[in-house]
């Protein structure tokens, strides 16, 4: 299949109760790619509840080629007091390996950029793993700036 054919049949749709299992499958593939443990059964239950409630804690969208879910994106909103606007925080963007190199990840990224504009965001933030060499040049090519901030985390008993 040629790239133009893939672009024409590619769609991005919000994850629903019916498509949640496809989302989980892709999330497991991302965990494998990042050498992390996938969500356990309790976390899966929370993921579903947090996504499908009236005021979701995060949003998830599947990228589909025809009927096949080949990638996904998740994001949520924070707030910038200095801009006095929301910030779209891109949590995950993933495309299955066999579908990479055809611009599908870029289309998922552009979807997020557009959502940020539509929703009045002052900026869009995300993190990238230092070893994720395929992504870093893409982000810098589109004008993203690497910030001089350190990322810290509290979890488990320290929280």
Residues serving a catalytic function are 139
Distance CA 56, CA 44 (A): 15
Question: How many beta carbons lie within 10 A of that of residue 141, not counting itself?
Answer: 8
Distance CA 125, CA 39 (A): 23
Tokens of 82: 């200095």
Which of 47, 55, 9 lies closest to 30, judged by CA?
Answer: 47
Distance CA 125, CA 142 (A): 14
Q: Which residues make Cβ contacts (< 8 Å) with residue 78, sequence separation at least 6?
A: 86, 87, 89, 125
SS3 101: coil
């Amino acid at each position: 299949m040629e790239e133009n054919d893939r672009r024409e049949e590619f769609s991005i749709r919000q994850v629903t109760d019916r498509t949640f299992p496809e989302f989980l499958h892709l999330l497991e593939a991302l965990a494998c790619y990042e050498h992390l443990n996938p969500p356990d059964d309790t976390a899966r239950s929370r993921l579903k509840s947090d996504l499908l409630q009236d005021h979701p804690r995060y949003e998830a969208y599947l990228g589909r080629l025809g009927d096949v879910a080949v990638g996904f994106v998740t994001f949520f909103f924070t707030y910038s007091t200095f801009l006095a606007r929301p910030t779209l925080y891109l949590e995950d963007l993933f495309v299955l390996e066999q579908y990479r190199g055809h611009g599908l990840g870029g289309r998922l990224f552009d979807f997020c950029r557009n959502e940020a504009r539509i929703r009045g965001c002052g900026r869009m933030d995300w993190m990238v793993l230092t070893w994720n060499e395929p992504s870093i040049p893409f982000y810098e090519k589109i004008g993203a700036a690497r910030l001089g901030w350190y990322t810290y985390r509290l979890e488990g008993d320290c929280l």
